[in-house]
């Protein structure tokens, strides 16, 4: 599968975000560099990092060493809660570490204190206006917290990145984000998944894939962005190999019911 063939979701303007990305939480040093290089070699073109992860320099070096043109990549980073009031300096430091003129998506990593949330959101919008990021969004926000931003600025986050898996399936939350034009992005897809669940095992066997691949494919069927992470080259490759099969609506519904 070429990068142009990978499914994407439309964000603001002409920005399109690949539905499958590579997560880098808890990856540091040489492990982070090696894992991102392996992911890029396999075909991932969406890399998720954060200031809090302490690996932006390694991610940037892996991107440069891959030889892949920056225009073919989607890079996300995030503003940590302890950098409220230092938004511009933080994004500029992130860009320097990553070795790029802009990122494709910048997220507020965790909601700051209520009285700071709107100020931070305005700074995110200002960074977008300054072409330091192509899109801005949030992470770990409730619908109510998102509505406060929208009501104050008329601008909805492009993305809300939250913990997500079949066991955490919440159709109401998914609908609330969709109604506001917000793409839902799930992290830690396997952490709360029982990969020995009979439903996942049966569906996986039917397609000759693994239960983990079924979980990732389920995200794509819902048009939910998903960012699995691994340091194992074989697992990195397996997590990317989810484009050769698709789930039926009935199978999707069965997996949805695991969150019941």
Task: Provide the 10 A C-beta neighbour count for residue 231.
Answer: 14
Cβ distance 239 to 38 under 8 Å? Answer: no
Structure tokens at 209: 């894939």
Q: Is 53 a catalytic residue?
A: yes
* 223: phi then psi, degrees, rounded to nearest 5: 60, 40
3-state secondary structure at position 97: helix
79: β partners: 108
- The string of DSSP codes covering 148-169 is HHHHHHS---SEEEEE--GGG-
How far is the C-alpha of 90 from the C-alpha of 88, rounded, in Å?
5
Which helix (H) or strand (E) segment is 171 a member of? Answer: helix 171-179
| Catalytic option among 33, 44, 53, 141 | 53
Residue of 174, 229, 233 whose CA lies nearest to 50: 229
* Cβ-based neighbours of 98, under 8 Å, separated by 6 or more: 49, 56, 57, 59, 60, 63, 75, 77
Residues designated catalytic: 53
């Amino acid at each position: 599968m070429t990068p142009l063939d990978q499914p994407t979701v439309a964000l603001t303007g002409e920005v399109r975000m690949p539905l499958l990305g590579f997560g880098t939480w808890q990856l540091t040093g040489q492990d982070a560099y090696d894992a991102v290089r392996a992911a890029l070699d396999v075909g991932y073109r969406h890399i998720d990092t954060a200031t809090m992860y302490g690996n932006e320099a390694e991610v940037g070096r892996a991107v440069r060493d891959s030889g892949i043109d920056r225009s073919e990549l989607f890079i996300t980073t995030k503003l940590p809660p302890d950098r409220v009031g230092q938004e511009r300096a933080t994004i500029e430091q992130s860009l320097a570490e990553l070795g790029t003129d802009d990122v494709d998506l910048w997220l507020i990593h965790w909601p700051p204190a209520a009285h700071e949330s709107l100020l931070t959101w305005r700074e995110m919008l200002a960074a977008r206006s300054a072409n330091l990021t192509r899109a801005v969004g949030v992470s770990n926000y409730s619908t109510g917290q998102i509505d406060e931003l929208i009501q104050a600025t008329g601008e909805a986050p492009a993305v809300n990145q939250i913990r997500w898996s079949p066991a955490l399936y919440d159709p109401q939350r998914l609908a609330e984000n969709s109604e506001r034009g917000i793409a839902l992005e799930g992290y830690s897809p396997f952490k709360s998944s029982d990969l020995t669940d009979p439903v996942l095992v049966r569906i996986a066997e039917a397609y000759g894939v693994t239960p983990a691949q079924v979980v990732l494919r389920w995200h794509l069927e819902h048009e939910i962005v998903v960012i699995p992470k691994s340091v194992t080259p074989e697992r990195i490759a397996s997590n990317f190999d989810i484009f050769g099969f698709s789930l039926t609506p009935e199978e999707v519904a069965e997996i949805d019911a695991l969150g019941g």
